[in-house]
Amino acid sequence: MLRRSKTSATLIESLNQALALLKNARNVVVLTGAGISTPSGIPDFRSDKTGLWRFANPFEVATLWAFRDHPKRFYNWMRPLAKDILTARPNPAHFALTQMERMGKVTAIVTQNIDGLHQKAEANKVMEIHGHLRSMSCLDCGYHDESAPYLDDFLQTGEPPRCPRCGSVMKPDIILFGEALPHETVVAAQEATLHSDLMLVAGSSLEVMPAADLPALAVRSGSKLIIATLGMTPLDHLADVIIRGDVAETMPWLAEHLEKS
């Protein structure tokens, strides 16, 4: 439900334009970024006042080399974020995309997020191109395990989780700077994009590659493009419709009206 006090004629017009495109689409691929999870209490990375990179240099805490050299520094930085992610619940935007998936409109959700909230909202076709927190791996011996018991202990003690096989610090299966993205997932996302007739971007600033290139790939292959974010993106000029509003309100509006149509 849109809050009337903050609803402008421009927003209503853009929502109706987006709804018309969604009605005509048969194969919608959604790309989501941090902005879809901020209503769930998970901070994003680049906001001027609250972004995580405002308080830490990513090259000091979130690169593969920084993890190898100073894993405790990485975990000290990650501790509040991990707590936020593990306690977060999906918000109406996540459920709205699941609703569109169940209608048969959305055929894939490509996400830059590591929080697993799309799965918690019971979406089925989720591609996590930046990894997730559900499992951990040892970079030294290759041991792999579910992360829940390790993260529970870490949040209680503050001590980085250790590999039960070799004793090295375990790394969550999230993608750090300088680390290769999961090849099969990226290829699957690109293939889904090439076969789409509409891409819906929800809550992504479109500043991180290769995810930021997916909307351009969609347009080059003939798809329509809807960008729903609070701020501007480098690809706004390619969009057929731009929705400037809170995705926790605009996505449910689209899902509700799409189901009624």
Percent share of the chain, pLDDT over 70 = 90
- Digit-coded pLDDT (tens) for 174-198: 999 888 899 999 999 999 999 999 9
Residue 261 pLDDT greater than 90, yes or no: no
Output the domain CATH number for residue 137: 3.30.1600.10
Q: Are residues 230 and 142 in the same domain?
A: no
Closest CA to 75 of 63, 88, 64, 61: 61
Average pLDDT over residues 14-28: 97
Residue 99 pLDDT greater than 80, yes or no: yes
Q: Are residues 164 and 242 in the same domain?
A: no
Between 76 and 47, name the one with better pLDDT: 76
Q: Are residues 148 and 223 in the same domain?
A: no
Annotated catalytic, 195?
A: no
Residue 47 pLDDT greater than 60, yes or no: no
Q: Are residues 37 and 153 in the same domain?
A: no
Average pLDDT over residues 31-35: 95
CA dihedral 47, 51, 57, 62 (to 10 degrees): -120
pLDDT at 9: 86
Which residues is 202 bridged to in the sheet?
32, 228
Average pLDDT over residues 146-167: 94
Q: How far is CA 203 from CA 49, 136, 150, 164, 251, in A?
A: 17, 27, 30, 38, 10
Range of the domain at 123: 1-42+90-130+181-261
Q: How many domains does one find in the chain?
A: 2
Q: Are residues 16 and 95 in the same domain?
A: yes
**Pick the catalytic residue: 130, 144, 195, 237?**
130
pLDDT at 66: 86
Q: Are residues 169 and 56 in the same domain?
A: yes
What pTM was estimated for this model as a whole? 0.90
Q: Are residues 24 and 139 in the same domain?
A: no
pLDDT at 58: 56
Q: Are residues 202 and 257 in the same domain?
A: yes
Closest CA to 106 of 115, 117, 94: 94
pLDDT at 217: 96
Output the domain CATH number for residue 195: 3.40.50.1220
The number of helix segments (H) and strand segments (E) in the chain equals: 10, 9
Range of lowest pLDDT (62-71, 86-95, 122-131, 182-191): 62-71
Residue 3 pLDDT greater than 80, yes or no: no
Q: Are residues 164 and 247 in the same domain?
A: no
